[in-house]
Amino acid sequence: MATFKIDDIEYDTDNLSDIQKRVVALYQQALREEGEAVANLELRRASRIELGRKLKELIIDVDNNND
């Protein structure tokens, strides 16, 4: 017996029609993909920031010290 909550109301999937189960599955998949997308965005942002720091350290600061 699998259950899930919407607006603090618990539903039993055994009592759902096939169409309702499919909609619930699609909704859960969308939530999972959204979470993954947010995590990927944050990882890419952190990587870009670190690469920017390394760029400054290895190229910009070196060129300014050579002047």
Tell me, yes or no, whether 20 lies in a domain. Answer: no
What residue numbers bound the domain in which 47 lies? 32-67
pTM metric for this prediction: 0.66
Helix (H) / strand (E) element for 47: namely helix 18-55
Reduced to 3 states, what is the DSSP secondary structure of residue 44?
A: helix
Tell me, yes or no, whether 1 lies in a domain. Answer: no
Residue 60, pLDDT score: 85
Tell me, yes or no, whether 10 lies in a domain. Answer: no
Tell me, yes or no, whether 39 lies in a domain. Answer: yes
Find out whether 10 and 3 touch, Cβ atoms under 8 Å. Answer: yes
Residue 67, pLDDT score: 67
Number of domains present in the structure of the chain: 1
Mean pLDDT by 10 residues, the chain (67 residues): 84 90 92 97 98 93 79
Helix (H) / strand (E) element for 63: namely helix 61-66
Residue 47, pLDDT score: 98
Residue 5, pLDDT score: 84
Residue 6, pLDDT score: 83
For 61, residues 6+ apart whose C-beta sits below 8 A from its C-beta are: none
Tell me, yes or no, whether 50 lies in a domain. Answer: yes
Tell me, yes or no, whether 64 lies in a domain. Answer: yes
